[in-house]
Amino acid sequence: MKNRFLLVILALIFIAAAPVYAARKQAEPMSELEEVILEAPEDVETEEGEIEVPQAISITEQKAPTEEKSLKEKLQEVYHLEVEKYDRPTYLLENVFTHKFDEDSIMDRTQLWAGYNGDIGLNFTSGSVGSEHTTNHYDINTINVGYDGFLKNNNADFRVMINISPYSSRNVIQNLFADMYVATNKIPHHRILVGHSRPPVGMEGGYGPFVLPFIARSQISRNFGTVRKLGARISGNYSLVDYDFGVYSSDTYFQEFFPGAEFIGWVNFKPLAKTHGKYGDLKIGGGLQGGHRDNNYCVTGAYIGYEYKRFMANVEWANANGYNGPADHSIDKHASGFYATLGYMLTKKLQLLARYDEFDPDHNIGNNKTREYSVGLNYFIKGQGLRLILNYVFCQNDGTKDSHRLMLGTQILL
């Protein structure tokens, strides 16, 4: 019943595209398609502190390619798609919305995509439903539309992405333009990017919204990180270390014209990389954000993450003497926090999560810490391309009433 329901949804999505394909000559029946599992390209770094590089991933392998596949065949590929990698986005309609250029063109391909991540949340405090004392900065509904382009021989790539999600503290134009950059991977093990992007202010703070374990980020990420800035950055990826260094305007979301300069850097060490996963994957990292916007600010952080087969665990800590986050900037406050996450894949598609998250917004004020206790379930129907999410958060507030939040969410990437 689930598979039939999924097929109906995919068919409805393509109704609008049907007239385009109807005008094309029907392709001859193709030979049998062999289903394969998506694998991550080795040279591609993922987010969350690292750079997410959009890549075209082949969904199926054609034994005897002849003519372009029909719309029906592409829908069948999506229906039978199996994904085992959850550390990067999977675009369900990638083969439909990707245009490949002729051999004599400098362009290799372009891809149009769209993504939604959001929830239907229920907030309540002391037995009553409401939002007065709920946890801070829960602006978690994300609607993005992007257009990616790739030059041949990996010479360069670009992304233009708009954000349709409303945000109360920014006007329409400030919130509309998200990623807008050009980049190149021509230098071995390196990527150079210039433009508007999400820098690694913390490990999780640098993650894109479509690979987060929970619907909402941790408190240090919501307050210090998850911002977009205009600047230039270089990242490197070697077997035992990766890094990301950049110089930016201290402005966020085009709100001011160069109010100051800012440096953001992050380094990860991977001591078990040479064992090729025999003992799991261990990542130990740290970083710094420092700059000026009205006054000086500095945020430091550290991270430890470990994955072994179905198990994952991570801990991240951050300390700020003033910060330049998504909600406030250049605040002359000493704030800090940390979170610890545990996760286990109960099956190939079902993941169980638990997290403890503590945040002190101002060390000069006593009894004002906020502690969040979260549990969650992720059901990866088609990897990150189609995912169902259930989260419960108990927020323990020193200065106000305790609160609860129950969230049922979904994620769709086309």
For residue 286, CA distances in Å to 90, 128, 213, 236, 313 come to 28, 41, 20, 15, 17
CA–CA gap between residue 40 and residue 34 (Å, rounded): 18
Among 295, 185, 183, which residue's Cα sits nearest to residue 250?
295
Domain boundaries, the chain: 93-413
Ramachandran bin of 384, using left for φ above 0, alpha for ψ from -120 to 50, beta for the remaining angles? alpha
From first to last of the 414 residues of the chain, give the pLDDT tens digit.
445 444 444 444 444 344 434 434 443 443 333 433 333 334 444 444 444 444 433 333 444 444 677 877 777 888 788 888 888 899 999 989 999 999 999 999 999 999 999 887 666 655 444 444 444 455 567 889 999 999 998 889 999 999 887 666 677 777 788 899 999 999 999 999 999 999 999 999 999 889 999 999 999 999 999 889 999 999 999 999 999 999 999 998 888 888 999 999 999 999 999 998 899 999 999 999 999 988 899 999 999 999 999 999 999 999 999 999 887 676 778 999 999 999 999 999 999 999 999 999 999 888 889 999 999 999 999 999 999 999 999 999 988 889 999 999 999 999
Q: How many CB atoms lie within 10 A of CB 410?
A: 16
CA–CA gap between residue 271 and residue 266 (Å, rounded): 16
pTM higher than 0.75 for the full model? yes
Q: Please tell me the predicted confidence (pLDDT) of residue 175.
A: 79
Q: Yes or no: say if 199 and 233 are a contact pair by the CB < 8 Å rule.
A: yes
Q: Yes or no: say if 34 and 15 are a contact pair by the CB < 8 Å rule.
A: no
Sequential DSSP letters for 58-100: -SEEESS--SPPPHHHHHHHHHH------SS---TTHHHHEEE
Question: What pLDDT, in 10s, does the model give residues 40-71?
Answer: 334 444 444 444 444 433 333 444 444 677 87
C-alpha Rg value of the chain to the nearest Å: 22
Question: What pLDDT, in 10s, does the model give residues 230-245?
Answer: 999 999 999 999 999 9
CATH class of the region 93-413: mainly beta
